[in-house]
Structures are given as structure tokens and as C-alpha cells.
Amino acid sequence: MNVSRFAFLLVGVVVVVLAFQAVRVHRAHKSDALTDSDGVKTFEDGGSTEEQIVGDGAAGDVAENLVETHVEAMFTREEERTWREQSGQALKTPLEQAEELLDRASQLALPDGQPGVEGEPGSKSEVQKALEAELAKERSSLLEGRARERIDQGDYDGAIALLAESLEENPLNGEAYRELAVLYRRLGMDDEEIATYAAWAEAAPENAMPHYYLARTLERLGYDDAALAEAERFNELSAGDVTAHALSALLYRRLGMREEERATLEMWVQQAPESPDAHLALANYHRRTQDHAAALAEFQALVTLEPDNVRAHVGLADAHQRLGRFEEAQAEYVVAMNLRPEDMHVRLRLAESYRVSGDIDAAIATCQAVIDEYPDTGEARQAQRQIDRILDRQKGSW
């Protein structure tokens, strides 16, 4: 083994590690985690096997060991950055630092035709292949970061060009596909948005997420049959992943397929009976479909799993209320109020429950307490309106 060349290559990997850290710092400030437009957080794309380091396990172990070995050096780098900031010295942005580091790393990579680490003329070592793959992935991330800046500046053509270049570097960069598709949607370029998700699906045939986003896009544009086909493909690829049930149910809901939505949520509860999210999703489904007895059962299961969950107690109270069980409803509202005393909306729900059950004095007293404790607030004004309605109804009954 050519020890000096091996050490030289290791230096290159270390530089990539440092670049990786700089990119992550930059991107943490530039964007939040991908979240579905209906509030359902989507799972990351980085877990797919295609996005792992190129090469066998040994090469991956080398890279992992290098990260651990140079943790101390990274802390030293952070200390130096802090010192420079305190001393008023100008620093390059994280993106500029990462670009500079990647340029240096590219120069350190062994060119084709030179002996690899194993000493075989004309071949590349697995570590070298891993280094080149990591360089491409980081260049892709850098280009994506620059595209985000262009979007912020309103330079959409420039952003599209940078995102296309990012995907040339790493055809599996799911965030770049997503960014590009969202930009096309913003610009009203529906065909390009569809083509972007289709290209992502083709590049990563085992990844379920492009099919989910494609189904959402097609449904939004009125292509329900095509959207359903993509939804079914998403289900096939995400089979065994219980976290995907929420997204599947959402697709069925948007397509108006109520029975399929219910079956998906029930499957989620069966496969993950200890999941509060699963019970909450099924409870909300039953509440939307006016099956209050079924909703009550799911909210009760949720309360059992999370006794301090205010939302669960409020949902349970609402279900009791719908079923005419006013004492049980009021008891659950009181529990929720005690868990979150600053939540005036819970108190107003309790007041309404008192009114519906005929306890007018308790209803007015509960509203008045909100006015007294939180005067000149939106909640206080709502409480006063509630009192006024109660009094108006009383006058009408006289």
C-alpha cells in the first residue's frame, strides 16, 4: 500500500467532512424541515440505500472512523470561528467556506489512471470512490443552497439553472427535486412540476416520496385517476413503514375516498397501537364523519397513552358533548383546563357545555372569569359575546 498516497487521500476525506459541516450549518439557517402543506411532517429521503456512500462496507467504515477521529479538530474550528467573531474579523459565509473547502477537496482526489490505495495501477480504491461520491453529493447540496438564495432574490431562472446543475451532480437529491417542483408550481408551470416529480421517481425507483408528491400534484390539477395510480404506487413502496399511513390517508382524503382513508387509518392503529398520532388521526376521521362514539373510543385510547395530552382530553370532552354526556364532557374540559390553565379556549368550551346542559349560572361565571383574568384580549371579547348570547336567549324565552 502506498502509505503517503493513502494519507493524502484521507486528508481529502477530512476536508469533505469539514465541508459537510459548513453546508449543514448554512442549510439549517436557510430552510426548515420539509413539511406537508396540510401540516403532516414528511419523512426524509436520506434513508434510501441509493444515497449511501458508494463502495463496500469497508469504505464506509473508513469514512465513519475519520469523522470520529476529527471531531476534536471540528471543535477547534468552531472555537476559532468564535474567536474571530469576537475580535471583529470578517468571516466568509458558511456557503463560501464550504465552496472553498470542496475546491480543495477536489484537488486532493486522485485522478483517473493513478494507482489506487490498494496499489493496483489504473484502478480507484473504494475509499477514493467514496470520496468522489461524497464530493458530488456536497457539490449538489451547495448548488441547491445557492439556488435557494436566488429564489430569495427573485432570480427564478438562475435558481432553476442551479437546481438542474445540482441534480446533475447528485440525481438522488430529493430536496433539490422538491425545491425545483415547488418553484415550478409558484410560477404556474404545471407540466414542468409534474415532470420534475416524474424524473425524481425515475432516478430513485425505490423511493416512495416522489410518488406521494406526484399524487398530490395530479390531484390538485384534477387528474384523479393518475393521482390514484401514484397513490397506490406510494403505498407499494412504503409498505411496512407505519409512518407512511398518515400520508396515504391524506391522499385518499383529498381524492374523496372515505372508506380507503378509514381502512388506512385503522391499519395504522393496528400496526402501531402505541402510537398517539395513529389514534389521533383515526379519532379526527371519526369526528369528521360524525361517528362520535368511535371518536370517543379513539380519544380515550389516546388519553390512556398520554394522560397529560390536552388535545386528547378536549377531543374526548367534545365527543361526550356530542353524545349528550354533559357531565363527562365537563369533567374532561376541567382536566384539560387544569393541564393548561392559560388556554382560554378550553374554558370557553366548558362554558358552552354548561350552557347547553342548562347550567346558565356556571356558564356565565366561567366566561366572566376569562374576562376578569385576561381583560382587553380577544378571548375576553369572545367571552363577553358568549355572555351576551346567553342573556339574549334568556330574554327570548321570557
How do residues 128-147 score in pLDDT, each as one tens digit?
677 777 888 888 998 999 99
Q: What is the DSSP string of 2-24?
A: -HHHHHHHHHHHHHHHHHHHHHH
Contacts with 397 (C-beta within 8 Å, 6 or more apart), sequence order = none
Q: Do the Cβ atoms of 149 and 142 come closer than 8 Å?
A: no
Task: Give the model's pLDDT for residue 254.
Answer: 94
Range from 24-38, 80-94, 187-201, 236-250 carrying the lowest mean pLDDT: 24-38
Give this prediction's pTM.
Answer: 0.67
Task: Give the model's pLDDT for residue 121.
Answer: 45
Angle between helices 224-237 and 209-220 (to 10 degrees): 160
> How large is the C-alpha radius of gyration of the chain?
28
The sign of the dihedral angle between the CA atoms of 202, 194, 215, 281 is: positive
Q: Do the Cβ atoms of 271 and 294 come closer than 8 Å?
A: no
User: With 0-12 CB in 10 A as exposed, 13-18 as middle and 19+ as buried, what is 39?
Assistant: exposed
What is the mean predicted confidence (pLDDT) over 75-94?
51
Domain spans in the chain, listed from the N-terminal domain onward: 1-31+45-110+124-169
What is the mean predicted confidence (pLDDT) over 54-67?
39
